A and B are shown apart, each in its own frame.
Chain A
Amino acid sequence: MRETIKVINKMVKEGLFNDYAIGGGIATMFYIEPFLTYDIDIFLLLEHWKGNVVLLTPVYDYLKEAGYKWKGEHIIVEGVPVQFIPADELEKEAIKDARRIVYEGVKTKIIGPEYLIAILLRAGRKKDIEKIEKILDEVKIDKKILNDILTRYGLDERFRAFLKK
């Protein structure tokens, strides 16, 4: 995974995207106990937009030229399946707010727990809800920040319903 992150950092330096943060299962695992997952979700801050269309082609072309192969919906970067997700408004904020960490000597960014909860809540699948429960159990959450995010993105009602269950 160290080498994978190095490739992604290099892509930022080379201007393929402006910034990124790790989200999804791996970000969740940063805060809670390990569980089985298969890929790394990389949320991208990029400017390759044409109207409503986001161009991920340069990102994938770069990786294909570097010799990385596709497997299903993922591209295998240094032995790790990676999925690149262009960030929407909520995720853009999450990238800007993300925690800067060092993984085996390599700098990277992980989405913070409050934004992670909001993103998982919005996705709303059973496995996402289970992750939220674990995060709330095991992590000290800044409730003020969480409430602000949930309110601004219209997720507060959904969160209250989740807490009632």
Chain B
Amino acid sequence: MKKGKDVKIVIGKRVITRDELFKKKEEFHRAQARMPFEEKIAVLVQLQKIYASLKRGKGITVWKI
């Protein structure tokens, strides 16, 4: 099996390299960082809800926003 850069990933009709995949991932994180603060807090509350449901509500307060 080929390693690293040579590996191509097929997603539907798209073919991308591992490097491109990680580059896109990085771009995604940067875009997330540029989100308006209000939207970030909404994402945070969603994360808190997921965490609370996994922990069955123990030890976390899901914020009111």
Contacts and interface: CB of A to CB of B under 8 A. Distances in A.
A81 B45 CA distance: 13
Nearest to B39: A34
A60 interface: no
Given A33-B29, A37-B44, 19 more contacts: A1-B64, A1-B65, A2-B65, A29-B41, A33-B32, A33-B40, A34-B40, A34-B41, A34-B43, A34-B44, A36-B44, A36-B48, A38-B60, A71-B61, A79-B63, A104-B38, A138-B29, A138-B30, A138-B33
Contacts of B65: 1-2
Interface of A: 1-3, 26, 29-38, 71, 76, 78-81, 101, 103-104, 134, 138-139
A101 B37 CA distance: 10
Q: Tell me if B's interface is mostly helix, strand, loop or mixed.
A: helix
6 A-B pairs with least C-beta separation: A79-B64, A33-B32, A34-B43, A138-B33, A34-B40, A36-B47
B35 interface: yes
Contact of B63 (A1, A34, A138, A139): A1
